[in-house]
A and B are shown apart, each in its own frame.
Chain A
Amino acid sequence: MSRFLFVAPPLAGHVYAAGAVAGVLARRGHEVAWAGPESALRRMLGDGVTVFSTGMRPYRGQRDRGLRAARSLWEGFVLPYARFTLPAVEKAIAEFAPDVVAVDQHALAGAVAAHRHGVRWASLAPQSMELTRPFRSLPEVERWIERRIANAGLSIGDGADPRFSPHLVLAFTSPALTGPYDFPAHYALVGPALGDRATAPDFPWDALDPARRSVLVTMGTLAEDVARDFFPRMVGALRMLEGRVQAVVAAPPTAVPDPPPGTVVLPQVPVLELMPRLSAVVCHAGLNTVCEALAHGVPLVVAPIKHDQPVTAAQVVAAGAGVRVRFGRSGAGELAAALAAVLDEPGYAAAAGRVRDSFAAAGGAPAAASHLELLAPRP
C-alpha cells in the first residue's frame, strides 16, 4: 500500500475530479491526504478526508474576461497562491511522507515541493488550458506565462515547468473531445473522473414535467456576477420554447427574473443525478460541466466566458456535440435557436453519444488511480 498526497486549489471543478481519483485510491486501501485550504476542501470532500491545511488567498480579477482574465488568473491567483501555500505544502510532504504527490496544474506549490523533497509527482489537468497549448497562436502569451512562473521562483530543477510533470500528466478528457493532438507518451487522457459527491443538494424531483424536455442551465461557480446579464436573455429563449422545454436553472432565484411557469431555479442542483433525465445542457463550457453532460450523452449549448472555456467550447463544436453561442451578446432568439437545434437535430445527441463512449473506454477515476499507483516506488 502507498501514500498519496493531493494538492488542489479550492475550485469545485478541480477538487471534484481529484476527489474522485482520491476516493478510488482510498477504497483500494491506500493512504490518501490533501494539502489545501481546509474549510473549502471539506465543504467539497466531506469530513472524512485528511487535510494538511495551507490556508488560501482570495482570487482577484474574477470578473475579468478574455486575455485580461488570463493575466489576472496568473497574477491574481495561481502565482500568489503557489507562493503563499508552498511552506505549508512542504511541511505536509515532510509529515505525511507521500510516495506520490498528485498536483493540480493550478496548484504549482505541490510540484515545487515534491521536486524539492525528491518525491515522484503527477500533474492533474482538470481544465483545457494547460493541455493542448491553446495559446500557441499567441507565442508572446505563452512566453509571458513561462516567464512569470520562472520569475516567481516556481521553476523546478533544471528550469522545468511545474505545470507539466515529467512522470505523468493525467487529463480528465479524451481525444474524442480534444481532437487530434500529439500528446507525449507520459500523458494519460482518462476521461472525466465522476465520483460520488460528498453532499448532493436536495431537489424537487416531482416538479419535473415528463411531457416536456428537461434542460439544465448552469453558468459555473465563478460566474454568478457576470452571468446576471445573461440570464434575462436566456429566460427570453426559454419563453419561446416553453411549450416543450422545462428548464432547471442553477442560479440564485434573484438572478433569473420572470422565468416561464414550471422553471426550477435553485442556487445548487444535483448535477450528476439530473443528467440521466436531461435532453440538453446550456453552460459556460467549463470542462467539468461539459464532461458531465457528455459522459451522459447529453448535447450542449455552450456560452464560454473566459479562461479555458472558449477552448472547450471550440472542442464541443468540433466534436459535433453542441452549438456555441456568445455569452455577452447572443439574444433570446439566437439562444432559443441554438437550444432548439441541439434538441431537434439528432446529430448533436449522436455526437455526444460518441464522446460518452470514448469517455467510458478511457476508464475515468479508476484508470487515473491505476496510473498513480504505477508511479509509486515498489516496496
Chain B
Amino acid sequence: MDILRELTGLLRDATGEDERWAEAVTPQSRLEDDLRLESVELAALGEALRARYGVDLPAYLAGLDLDELIDLTVGDLARLVTP
C-alpha cells in the first residue's frame, strides 16, 4: 500500500534510519516499542505529517488514552492520514 511506503519514508526522515530498517516497518509496527521513536523524532514526524497530509498529529494524540498511546502503530497513522 502506497500510504505505508510514504509513512515509512517519513519515519526514515524523522529517525535517520536506513533502508534495511525501513523494510521491517509494517502496519503492525508500534511507534514506541518496535520503532523506538523518541519524543523529538515523534515531533519531527508530526511536522512532516502536517506538511504532507495536513493532519494534526498532536491533536490526534491528545484524544488517546495511555494504553492507546503505548500501542500506537504505523497502521493507526495510515488511518489518520487516509482521507
Contacts and interface: CB of A to CB of B under 8 A. Distances in A.
A70 B69 CA distance: 11
A197 interface: no
B83 interface: no
Interface stretch (B1-9, B32-40, B47-55, B73-81): B32-40
Contact of A66 (B17, B40, B70): B70
A141 B36 contact: no
Interface in B24-78: 32-33, 36-41, 58, 61-67, 69-70
Given A65-B32, A67-B70, A68-B33, A137 B38 contact: no
Given A138-B61, A326-B38, A329-B17, A144 B70 contact: no
Interface in A314-338: 324, 326-329
Contact of B69 (A141, A304, A310, A327): A141
A-side binding surface: helix, strand, loop or mixed? helix
Interface string A295-319: 0000000001000001000000000
Contact of B15 (A70, A141, A304, A329): A329
A310 B39 contact: yes
A260 to B, nearest CB: 25
B32 A140 contact: no
Interface residues of A, number: 19
Given A324-B40, A326-B40, A329-B16, A141 B66 contact: yes
A139 interface: yes
A328 B62 contact: no
A224 B71 CA distance: 26
A68 B40 CA distance: 17
Contact of B64 (A71, A140, A304, A327): A140
A329 B38 contact: yes
A68 B38 contact: no
Interface residues of B, number: 21
Contacts of B36: 65, 328-329
B61 to A, nearest CB: 6
A68 B66 CA distance: 8
Interface in A125-153: 137-141, 144
Contacts of B65: 140-141, 144
Interface centre among A66, A70, A141, A328 (most CB of B within 10 A): A66
A324 B15 CA distance: 14
B38 A67 contact: no
Nearest to B67: A71
Interface of A: 65-68, 70-71, 137-141, 144, 304, 310, 324, 326-329
Given A67-B69, A68-B70, A140-B63, 14 more contacts: A66-B32, A66-B39, A67-B66, A67-B70, A137-B62, A138-B64, A140-B66, A144-B66, A304-B38, A310-B39, A310-B40, A324-B40, A326-B40, A329-B17
5 contacts: A66-B32, A70-B66, A137-B62, A140-B63, A304-B38
